[in-house]
Chains A and B, each alone.
Chain A
């Protein structure tokens, strides 16, 4: 952009007051700021001993999990929407005809390469059946590259670990519905 472009709006600084010209108020302002912060409470978390607490673990984007439905089956229908949406191409799905009557396909293999994943959450947004979700687990580590490729069993086990703290959407919606019905029931009696 050239300096004479009409898109630039030049803003004139207001002239300095006599006090500002003496620098003194600015010196004192800088010093009081640092002194205030010197004694203010610290925000650092001593990681292995203390852990970060999330205001809402459901909106955090950490390790993935594959949700189970009410009968404990994997909820995924192998539609490939998450793999298509993934900008890092880290999701690898092999589909097979489903043994269950309520869907056509289910995933035989569901691998997520955690080293490639950028934790953007697009898979979660793309999923039509809320099968893949990002949990609040963030301290992910492994000793080899192979270890960091999470397969279906591991992703399902992540679900088993986190379902109590962060219930999947179908469970939350069911709870809300139950609350409403019980509220209306008590309201009528």
Chain B
């Protein structure tokens, strides 16, 4: 029992250390990529403090952190103090708590009498997936608390947008999770990764439509561009963290970054085979020390690649308008999310036997069906609902008004007031 507590504490310390350092350095990477994409060089000056050694700017996170720590922590007089202080903490706890169930396989240290150690803080947790999404979704409470307690219209708008966005995108997200869980036959993340490793077929190949829906939904949930509506700088100043500064702001920003890392971790775990790579990591649940190290490296590389794609995506596509965001969630992603679920349910409830294929050929057929579904659904959506529509002034009314008086029947001609705000209250 004592051993278990020590083991868990060590794991928590390791995970927190890696996460905090990782988040700090990912900020630097994000700044680099932003600079390179804009034909700039990016931060490259800060190296070892008190020397002239630059190290390509690798000291920048330390400088940034110190700056935020020593900055004045200004609390506006009009805020609700309790909730205001609670906001960043809630978000941060939720963002970190997710990592309790991220599986990296088991390692056999080779010491006799020791059982293989799970490289997960909470190993073999039966409801890991449910817990993970509960914790991930709980982060929005901190955002709403912060936005509400700030007593500022822009902050509140940001918080409300975050809430609306989360509710909208939880649904397609859950639908895709149903598919993955149903396919794995378990809610344990270890099992899901193990299944991908043992069959050697990653879920992205088998469930492409699910992957697309999941990817979009998880990006929206992490509030990354093009879905960063809760904190659109151009519209809402800073959104929910407009009134925050110093350490509290840093807590929010780090949590936000952790959300992106969470999203990348989830994509890798559920669709890109977790720690598995063909011919490199093996597929047994337990690995030796070297094998376990290799698995961690493979996992980290995959996560970093996904994060890199997130960062590139940020500069590639413009931000959605809020109505477009909602439209995408409710009218596109939710119907899309149901399609692979129906296919998989049909597959397990007799479709497999109907087609009379077993094992590998059966899986190949499932993959083909799912790819066909992706293409079909994409084409149908594209042709049925135009992706953009006009929100400029009603041109038919404008044209009508510009015609000469006589040409228009009485009563049809719109008055100038039809599209102008009225100021009746001023009188």
- A binding-site residues for B, Cβ under 8 Å: 2-4, 6, 10, 13, 16, 18, 21-24, 26-27, 30-31, 33-35, 37-44, 46
Contacts and interface: CB of A to CB of B under 8 A. Distances in A.
Nearest to B419: A3
B382 A23 contact: yes
Interface size class of B (residues with CB under 8 A): 20 to 34
B37 A10 contact: no
Given A4-B398, A37-B39, A38-B37, 6 more contacts: A10-B398, A16-B388, A22-B382, A34-B316, A42-B41, A43-B40
A44 B40 contact: yes
A184 B349 CA distance: 100
B2 interface: no
Given A10-B398, A44-B41, A16 B386 contact: yes
B402 A6 contact: yes
B401 interface: yes
B47 to A, nearest CB: 14
A4 B405 CA distance: 13
A4 B419 CA distance: 10
Given A3-B398, A44-B40, A21 B382 contact: yes
A20 B36 CA distance: 28
A172 to B, nearest CB: 35
Contacts of A34: 37, 312, 315-316
A16 B316 contact: no
Contacts of A6: 402
Nearest to A2: B416
A42 B402 CA distance: 51
Interface in B11-36: 33, 36
B423 interface: no
Given A4-B398, A16-B388, A43-B40, A33 B382 contact: no
Contact of B41 (A3, A24, A40, A46): A46
Interface of B: 33, 36-41, 312-313, 315-317, 378-379, 382-383, 386-388, 390, 393, 395, 398-399, 401-402, 416, 419-420
Contacts of A37: 36-39
Given A10-B398, A22-B382, A3 B393 contact: yes
Given A22-B378, A46-B41, A35 B386 contact: no
Contacts of B33: 38
B383 to A, nearest CB: 6
Contacts of A23: 382, 387
A37 B402 CA distance: 46
Contacts of A26: 317
Contacts of A31: 312-313, 316
Contacts of A46: 41
B390 to A, nearest CB: 8
Contacts of A22: 378-379, 382
Contacts of B386: 16, 21
Nearest to B318: A30
Nearest to B226: A30
A46 B315 CA distance: 24
B290 to A, nearest CB: 34
A4 B40 contact: no
A46 to B, nearest CB: 7
Contacts of A35: 312
Contact of B387 (A2, A21, A43): A21
Contacts of A18: 382-383
9 contacts: A3-B401, A4-B398, A24-B378, A27-B316, A30-B317, A42-B36, A42-B41, A44-B41, A46-B41
**Which 4 pairs show the lowest CB-CB distances between chains A and B?**
A30-B316, A22-B382, A4-B401, A21-B382
A39 B39 CA distance: 8
A22 B41 CA distance: 35
A26 B387 CA distance: 12
Given A30-B317, A44-B40, A38 B312 contact: yes
Nearest to B420: A2
A178 B402 CA distance: 68
Nearest to A38: B36
A167 B165 CA distance: 64
A16 B387 contact: yes
A9 B323 CA distance: 27
Contacts of B39: 37, 40-44
Nearest to A31: B316
B316 A33 contact: yes
Contacts of B382: 18, 21-23
- Residue of A3, A26, A39, A43 ringed by the most chain B CB atoms within 10 A: A3
A21 B163 CA distance: 29
Contacts of A40: 39
A13 B210 CA distance: 34
Nearest to B385: A21
B22 to A, nearest CB: 22
B418 to A, nearest CB: 9
